[in-house]
Copies of this chain bind each other. A is one copy, B any other.
């Protein structure tokens, strides 16, 4: 049974803290194993990559078969259902339109002293997209990772996806083509991350790696962070629904289960000021579970990590929502915009009863790669800026150097950095 908390109970604070602190994932300590794989690929390149693929994916490759060919991609696209391809294209166009609005502006300005200042954004040269294999191989995630990179202007977009027993998901290849991926390699795990970071004879290195993966992939990304950029360490997904008495219990239950079906570690939470709704949703979840194909997964998630929190007044939900910092926040109240304005921490907010989170997963246009595990307190969903970097610009003439130089010299000397001071003084004939 999911946890039921009531805001006005005496032990609420303690129980809510426990709820927040509960670990939803066994943090398998795979660091040593991941490090051995990463080091091996860094040292031996393709040979190590091919060995690891034989071992973990039961797949025999050589340097010439690492890369998925154009003919294979074309064949995969042809094998896809036409309606699904159309839906992918519809999603692609909407995601692209949304992300085009994220392109940043350069800045250049001159201050009162005549100093020219500013900055300039540019795309990173290359990016690696990790795509998990097996059941978690989602074509929608390929679009969500590839399109912001393309919109940013990344010229070389390299996808890695494991092919356990040689199998690849045709829709994933189709999504890669629609998303503008430049190269695809049929490798996965820590070995694929290592190949992207260090490069091999076959796979040229990239400068940043994005995309979700299992514990080995996450550990490998943490290890190569610094040599290359990485996006984030993704955890299990979560949704928080905040609803008042107008909420439709069946709709809310469907949304909670849509989150829960991802993974037994996923989390679905309802906060409401309506005791009636709380009970109706609990009942509706049990009812809908009966006919859900992934009932085992969704049922486990709901039983182990699900929660219904009753508050006296919805204003009490605001600090709770900020503490939870949900990846997805659905607001179904009389004035969802006004309520959303009060919440600080959330990856994405879905406003009103007609915006189920699944719309954002696929076709809304905004990115579905969002901060999990309370990290919306300090990080953002994936976007165009993740594939760009900012270079600052500074320009002084002789007059500006005269105006600013003496203070710089004073600070250089105060910090014991005389050569700093001298590099200014030598231009101004100052000691």
Identify the A interface with B (CB < 8 A): 81, 83-84, 86-88, 90-91, 94, 97-98, 101, 107, 109, 111, 115-117, 119, 122, 124-125, 135, 138-140, 171, 207-208, 222, 225-226, 228-229, 232-233, 235, 250-251, 254-255, 257-258, 260-262, 288, 292-294, 298, 322, 336-337, 340, 344-367, 370-371, 373, 375-381, 383, 385, 389-398, 400-401, 404-408, 410-412, 414-424, 426-427
Asked if B354 contacts A229 (CB within 8 A), the reply is no
Knowing A229-B375, A414-B171 touch, does A421 contact B98 (C-beta < 8 A)?
Answer: no
CA distance A207 to B429 in the complex (A): 47
Closest 3 CB pairs of A and B: A229-B378, A351-B395, A380-B390
Q: Which residues of B contact A90 (CB under 8 A)?
A: 407
What would be 7 A-B contacts, judged by CB atoms less than 8 Å apart? A90-B407, A94-B111, A171-B414, A250-B426, A355-B401, A361-B412, A363-B411
- Determine if A91 and B294 form an interchain contact, defined as CB atoms under 8 angstroms apart: no
Give the distance to chain B from A198, nearest Cβ to Cβ, in Å.
Answer: 11
Once the chains are docked, how many angstroms separate the CA of A15 from the CA of B359? Answer: 53
User: What's the nearest-Cβ distance from chain B to residue A224, in Å?
Assistant: 11
Stoichiometry (number of copies): 2
List residues of chain B with CB within 8 A of the CB of A250. Answer: 426
Is A101 touching B109 in the complex (CB atoms < 8 A)?
Answer: yes
Q: Tell which of B115, B124, B356 touches A424, judged by Cβ atoms closer than 8 Å.
A: B356
CB pair B116 A98 closer than 8 Å: no
Neighbour of A391 across the interface among B87, B115, B125, B376, CB < 8 A: B376
Contacts of A207 in B (CB 8 A): 377-378
Closest residue of B by beta carbon distance from A135? B416
Give chain B residues whose Cβ lies under 8 Å from the Cβ of A258: 417, 419-420, 422-423
Q: How close is A246's CB to chain B, nearest CB, in angstroms? A: 14
Contact B423 A377 (CB under 8 A): no
Whole-angstrom distance between the Cβ of A354 and the nearest chain B Cβ: 5
**Chain B, residue nearest A381 (CB):** B392
A391 to B347, CA, bound (A): 5
**Chain B minimum-CB-distance residue to A358:** B420
Known: A124-B378, A411-B91. A394 touches B364 (CB 8 A): yes
Report the minimum CB–CB distance from A1 to chain B (whole Å).
19
Taking a contact as CB atoms closer than 8 A, the residue among B349, B362, B411 that contacts A392 in the complex is: B349
- When C-beta atoms are compared, the residue in chain B nearest to A107 turns out to be B101
Q: Which residues on the B side are within 8 Å of A408 (C-beta)?
A: 87, 358-359, 361-363
Tell me, rounded to whole Å, the shortest Cβ–Cβ distance linking A127 to chain B: 9
**Contact B426–A254 (Cβ < 8 Å):** yes
Closest to A373 in B: B226
Contact A412 B358 (CB under 8 A): yes
Alpha-carbon distance A101/B171, docked complex (angstroms):
43
Residues A359 and B392 in contact, CB atoms below 8 Å apart: no
For the complex, what is the distance from the CA of A12 to the CA of B100, rounded to whole Å? 41
**A237 to chain B: closest CB distance in Å?**
11
CA A412 – CA B121 in complex, angstroms?
36
Q: Are A378 and B228 in contact (CB under 8 A)?
A: yes
